[in-house]
Structure 1
Amino acid sequence: MTVDDGALMLDDEGEVHLSDSVPTTSNSADLVVFLTELPRLWRGRPLPAEIDSRRSAAVISVPACGTLGLRRNVTDLTVACIAGLAEPDSADETFRSVESRLRQWHIDEERDGKSILVATSQWGWVRMVTGMVRVNRPWRLVSTLKGVIAAAAATASFGIFYTSIWQMATVLSPWRLGLITAFSIAVMGTWLIVANRLWESRRSRSSAATWSLMYNTVTVATVFVGIATMYIGLYILTFIAGLVVIDAGFMTQQIQQPASLTSFLLLAWLSTSMGVIAGALGSSSDSYESILRATFGQRERERRLKQERDEDPDDEAEKSRQAD
């Protein structure tokens, strides 16, 4: 058995086609199992796996395996696909082991009788979306938001030095502080999506609405998870800074009640929310390309452009000469 990296061929609609991909692999292989980070659909339903017995090849969509127990899910699908390729006409127990009330094997006559594993419930969509968010690695989005973090940290620091914010933090109830947190994250998330044009418009393909909805859902989830990660980090730093800078006795005088650890926690909570709201303005100074690459739709477009350049290098060179 060998493991190698390679490119899967996409059609005009961004779908993986084994008929074009298999010839690009090693001819010495008895069978080939592709693992791809691309989402795959069949009639508007998530498609975790597909087996093409005629070409002794299978493709597994890793995002459709979700996030919990990912390694086990991918391993089970791989073993099932190998079993299906080895005995394509049998109801092998290993082949059927990945079936459940949530997903079933079908024979797709439109695709030359290929065996496809199709999600049969809404849970399949949940696994697909969470899997795509995991592939996006939203926590890495924080590293691209340098302007946001700088503006948020600068504004949050005001909460450490202004006594009026100390007083406000101790007066506000936890549920109101929670609403302020939700509002601040919503403001920044909306600003990032709108300012960086992350929203996917309908594309000229069949089932365009389904694809657009899926990509937009993943984009929103990725952005908000990234912001939540930044919020937690900024909260911890603000809390520590408050403990270091603010004297508990002086804080007691200003808020007219004994300053406790809870007082510092509430102060960091309010200050961080204020910082995140201000940080939305700093997002305009961040790299548009870096933020855009965090979305699945953009990465698909980049793959297709690269594929077009690889398929027709002469045409690409001609375009470059014309541009010069």
Structure 2
Amino acid sequence: MDRSLNIITLATGKKLYVYMAVNLLRSARLWNKDNNINFYLATDLPQQLPVDVLAYTHIINLQPGELGRGFSPKLHLNKIVPEGKTLFIDSDCLVYGDLLTVFEQFKGHPVAVLGKHVTDGEWFGDIAAVCRQFSIPHLPKFNGGIYYLEKGPQAAQVYATARSLEEKYDEIGFVRLRGRPNDEVLMALAMQLHKQQPIEDDGSIMAEFVNFKSGIKSDIFKGTVELYNNPGHPDYQKNWPLTIAKPVIVHFLGHYNQILPYTAEVKKLKYVCEDRYGRPQAAVLSYLKVTLPASVSNLIKDIFRPVYRMVIGTRAVKPSERIIE
């Protein structure tokens, strides 16, 4: 067994990210405590961490803004990861199983992501135009919820190139995300320039709700999760080839980390990891305190929403805590 396997996540700027990072680390530890995987958290808010997480997590202390703002810290991963093979996982993810199989699939790639090559279309800019500008045949398109690195000169070159490209972000023609440069397109271009290949996304490693909007079944204690992209569903994504995913990692991006099942699953983790309840008690308490009230509230909203909108109108959308200032 490889003894230099690492999981790392970032939580900088806001308590929200620390809260999610704690949930991620708890879920990863739940399923991988006997796998000789080292856990790392890079943060500028270490005082916000609970005792149970501190017991097994190596803390990389950062100063506010040390690695940049917004999505820029992801472009510095090669400088903060330890020696060996490292899987970066976004803080708004949960882990549902053994990660050794994930490391095995990425093994041998200095830098890797889950995705596919694209030659045209829009992805934070005109893909074809970017390819022409840099005389490359395609770009790897992916979700930046995970990155894989094998620390060494090749990874360092890829990340150095990505950081240099960030300085020319607007000039290249990339479109900003929440007012900031998007790490995904910068890493995609840097990876292609250094001939780093994506790993095919078959739904077994990570899944996220951009592609699976038809529903989810989740049980963090059983290590089972399924995401659906059902033909005939109003939100069916016809351009996505998969209709079901059974991943090890789920990326609860956007508002999905504020609703079921995320809210219920992280409450289970807190009850077990911090409050020291057994799993059966934790599952029952989570259902009674989170799942049941949320389900009843959602049902009432669905029933009365048409009347509310007819009388009051639509409510203004609340600004997301994740909007970058």
Greater fraction of residues in helix: 1
Tell me the TM-score normalized by structure 2: 0.27
Greater fraction of residues in strand: 2
